[in-house]
């Protein structure tokens, strides 16, 4: 130890003398950016866990892994795919927790926060001077809500689209004008009535919507569960307005809804594969060129309520969450900050691979520029003009959301009226949440 210290001291003294004589050491050599070269970093592995199940290994390597290695040569990203609901617990048991978890705000409670792996990244934000004002303000607020109102557990990087996909051929077939970016829900309802009919033995419907996501990201910013009291309350008149607005589409004469068609996958397939639905509001999904191949499609802005012009659903970001067990928190945060930068995101945005959580007109306008599938498409409609304020999402929100979805389906199948369905959803939610709370005591 003494020999090592003496050698270091000698080198330091020699370097000082050389600098005093007008010479330069290797560390004084300016980098290409005109700054002092960064100290050499020891090689590390950073383990990324896909808690959402949307990222095959090859996509991760293409969109994340390659750019990270190019920017940080000393970092080797290791990808762990989602396999089942117990995957995180299995990793904890094996002592192999990830450094960074990739998950949406809708899934983060069940697949990360419940294991108490979260840590406030605010000190790292300040240490590395990351400017949070670069991000969509409503998204930052949503991230802070998840951390109890002040700090942040993760860095939002992508946003799920909120748009109205429509099949132009069906509009042309039935002589209906295409949706516009200023359309209200009432406008879409009038279109749906004209587009819903039986023709040539095929039942055509005007619109399908992912009800589960519509509920979670509702435009009135109604809480599906109060995360402070862990109680649901659906007696607000706006819940009835919300449900009456959405369910009326499915009760248009000719829709002929059945239990099979309440399944969101079947509704998605009706638009994507069967192509007998004119409009599709997935609320949180971006479709691929392969899915839309051969369809004469375009997009329009998410419909708004008459009293809230231009207001879309709540944001639904995908974020990188730092695990408190990481042995490389500083390096992990630097990588997260890079992935939340225009430098990283611009190429992917231009390729139409994702929508940015950055508040950047440049990135919004650049979306899909290099993607053949978006040529001539109304790309400005991928995100709303304004997001509705986000509401807190906690450990038990999925319970109340599930009961609200049941209520929605009971209404469109004619089994319950709106008031009864909402009252029963509230009662069932509070009963189940209390049972879960009792188990955890």
pTM for the full model? 0.87
pLDDT in tens, 290-299: 999 999 999 9
Which residues touch 220 (CB under 8 Å, ≥6 apart)? 238, 241, 242, 388
Region 107-136: mean pLDDT is: 96
Question: What percent of the chain clears pLDDT 90, i.e. is strictly above it?
Answer: 85
Look at residue 366 and tell me if it is in a domain.
yes
Both structure tokens of 101: 């978890």
CATH number, residue 239: 3.40.190.10
Confidence tier at 342 by pLDDT (50, 70, 90): very high
In the prediction, which pLDDT does 38 show?
54
* pLDDT tens digits for range 360-386: 999 999 999 999 999 999 999 999 999
Q: Residue 148 pLDDT more than 90?
A: no
Mean pLDDT, residues 234-248: 97
Look at residue 301 and tell me if it is in a domain. yes
Report residue 39's pLDDT band, with 50, 70 and 90 as the boundaries. low
Q: Strands, E, within 52-145: which ranges?
A: 75-80, 100-104
Number of domains forming the structure of the chain = 2
Same domain for 146 and 126: yes
Q: Of 349, 377, 405, which residue is a domain's last?
A: 377
Does 3 score more than 60 pLDDT?
Answer: no
- Residue 118 structural domain: 44-160+317-377
300 and 406 within one domain: yes
Q: Which residues contact 236 (CB under 8 A, 6 or more apart)?
A: 222
**In contact, 155 and 319? CB cutoff 8 Å:** yes
Alpha helices in 351-416 (DSSP H): 361-366, 397-412
Residues 201 and 139 in one domain: no
CA of residue 265 relative to chain centroid, distance? 19
Q: Is the pLDDT of residue 238 over 60?
A: yes
Same domain? 168 vs 150: no
| pLDDT at 1 exceeding the cut of 70 | no
């Amino acid at each position: 130890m003494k020999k090592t210290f003496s050698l270091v001291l000698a080198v330091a003294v020699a370097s000082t003398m050389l600098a005093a004589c007008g010479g330069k050491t290797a560390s004084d050599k300016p980098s290409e950016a005109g700054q002092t070269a960064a100290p050499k970093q020891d090689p590390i592995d950073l383990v990324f866990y896909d808690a959402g199940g949307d990222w095959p290994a090859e996509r991760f390597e293409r969109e994340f892994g390659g750019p990270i290695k190019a920017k940080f040569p000393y970092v080797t990203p290791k990808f762990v795919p989602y396999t089942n609901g117990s995957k995180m617990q299995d990793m904890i048991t094996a002592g192999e927790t990830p450094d960074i978890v990739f998950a949406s705000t809708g899934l983060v409670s069940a697949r990360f926060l419940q294991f108490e792996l979260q840590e406030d990244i605010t000190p790292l934000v300040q240490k590395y001077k990351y400017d949070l004002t670069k991000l969509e303000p409503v998204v930052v607020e949503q991230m802070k809500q998840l951390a109890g109102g002040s700090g942040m557990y993760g860095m939002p990087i992508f946003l799920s689209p909120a748009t109205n996909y429509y099949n132009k051929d069906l509009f042309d077939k039935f002589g209906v004008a295409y949706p516009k970016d200023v359309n209200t829900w009432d406008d879409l309802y009038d279109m749906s009535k004209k587009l819903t009919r039986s023709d040539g033995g095929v039942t055509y419907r005007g619109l399908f919507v992912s009800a589960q996501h519509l509920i979670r990201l509702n435009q009135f910013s109604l809480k599906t569960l109060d995360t402070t009291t862990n109680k649901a309350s659906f007696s607000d008149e706006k819940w009835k307005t919300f449900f009456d607005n959405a369910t009326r589409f499915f009760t248009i004469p000719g829709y002929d809804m059945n239990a099979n068609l309440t399944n969101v996958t079947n509704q998605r397939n009706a638009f994507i594969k069967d192509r007998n639905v004119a409009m599709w509001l997935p609320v949180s999904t971006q479709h691929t060129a392969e899915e839309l191949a051969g369809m004469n499609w375009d997009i329009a802005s998410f419909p708004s309520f008459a009293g809230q012009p231009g207001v879309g659903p709540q944001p639904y970001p995908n974020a990188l969450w730092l695990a408190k067990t990481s042995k490389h928190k500083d390096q992990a945060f630097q990588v997260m900050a890079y992935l939340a930068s225009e430098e990283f995101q611009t190429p992917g945005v231009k390729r139409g691979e994702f929508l940015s959580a950055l508040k950047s007109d440049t990135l919004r306008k650049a979306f899909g520029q290099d993607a053949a599938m978006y040529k001539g498409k109304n790309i400005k409609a991928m995100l709303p003009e304004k997001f509705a304020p986000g509401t807190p999402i906690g450990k038990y929100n999925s319970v109340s959301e599930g009961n609200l979805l049941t209520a929605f389906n009971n209404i469109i199948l004619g089994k319950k009226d709106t008031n009864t369905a909402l009252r029963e959803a509230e009662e069932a939610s509070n009963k189940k949440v209390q049972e879960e709370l009792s188990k955890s005591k």
